[in-house]
Amino acid sequence: MPSHTSAEEPRARPLTLLSEEERMFQETVRRFAREQIQPHVRAMDEEAKFRPALLGQMFELGLMSIEIPEQFGGQGGTFFQSVLAIEEIARIDPSAAVIADVQNTLVINALLRWGSHEQQARWFPPMTRDAVGSYALSEAGSGSDAFALATHAEPVEGGWRLTGRKLWITNAAEATLFLVFANVDPSQGYKGITCFVVERGMAGFTVGRKEDKLGIRASSTCELILDGVHAPAANVLGEVGKGYKIAIETLNEGRIAIGGQMVGLAQGALDHALAYARDRKQFGKPIAEFQGVQFDLAEMATQIEAARLLTYNAARLREAGLPFLTEAAMAKYYASQIAETVASQAVEIFGGVGFTKDYPVEKLYRDAKIGRIYEGTSNMQRLTIAKQILR
């Protein structure tokens, strides 16, 4: 069937970029994505719902607990492996990659860096089995101005009472664990922001309307309603008033993973374009033999490789404990830009059929748009880069 058009197995990455362990991990994730996720991509997009059975398989394979220490049942892996997994999954379905991305690089990362041993022992084991995490920062009035939060927390006996609404919260439909940012003292501005762990089922907590989106439709995006939710003192992540630091530093790392997601998406689009160009014949020969098509494919491949190297470099810097703020912004900015460009070029290589849902590239084109918006818009990344290079 046309909807099952797929690319041939891609060439291996240069071994100088990956260790043998990383290469084997990459191959495992690639095989899982191709064999288990790919057959369901179109249906999940149309239904705007991720298959629970696939989510269960992702847990079983350890893709939802890559950096959780082995003592808590996790894989004890690395941040770089998380980026590799997100890239490989996104080649097949960016929606699935988003689910793993938020779990690993935002929620687990925050708990690793700021959670106490008791908090990690409480929440990590379920996250290795079936508990999905969600990251709740955005609100109607706080997008790029992430700290203009209206959600507030007031002290009560034994903890805090949270009231407010969160919008555009990824993984919300599936999640049982939410990192919710609220202000305990609005007069202090961002210095009052605190991170709370809210669990599904707490009184006053409701997952609201699910957004009907242009792309990454199988990834849930919902509003959260907090109507006097009681969060025990033990559910404060880090220190009271330090939520802004948790948010900034976690998102800086998360942007590297978005770079990986966009690289994977672009590579998936190129894979499909290459396969189609070899098969599609016009004027008696495959369109891959026409120089105009060859030039487009060459440009796409070059852009992807540049974005991949930017992303890998940022991930390696982060793992080495070196400054990576500028490199993370560059990776996210450039990878999201080329993902949209490459996906668009892939649609053109497919021609008229590329504009239909019978072939996979129109979905990748729709999925690409969000890359320039979430976890910091392209303009915010350019602002970060400019500030750093002008220092």
Of 104, 105, 91, which is closest to residue 32 (Cα–Cα)? 91
| Calpha distance 38→140 (Å, rounded) | 34
Of 56, 196, 48, 57, which is closest to residue 119 (Cα–Cα)? 196
Contact indicator for 216, 264 with CB cutoff of 8 Å: no
Is 375 a residue of the active site? yes
- Residue 150 tokens, joined: 């209206």
Is the torsion defined by CA of 285, 289, 290, 292 positive or negative? Answer: positive
Write a three-state SS string for 323-372: CCHHHHHHHHHHHHHHHHHHHHHHHHHHHHHHHCCCCCHHHHHHHHHHHH
Q: Which residues pair with 210 in a beta bridge?
A: 222
- Residue 165 tokens, joined: 């609404």
| Calpha distance 201→250 (Å, rounded) | 26
Distances (CA, A) of 212 to 44, 48, 93, 133, 216: 13, 8, 18, 21, 10
Q: How far apart are the first and last CA of the chain?
A: 55
Mind telling me the catalytic residues?
Answer: 375
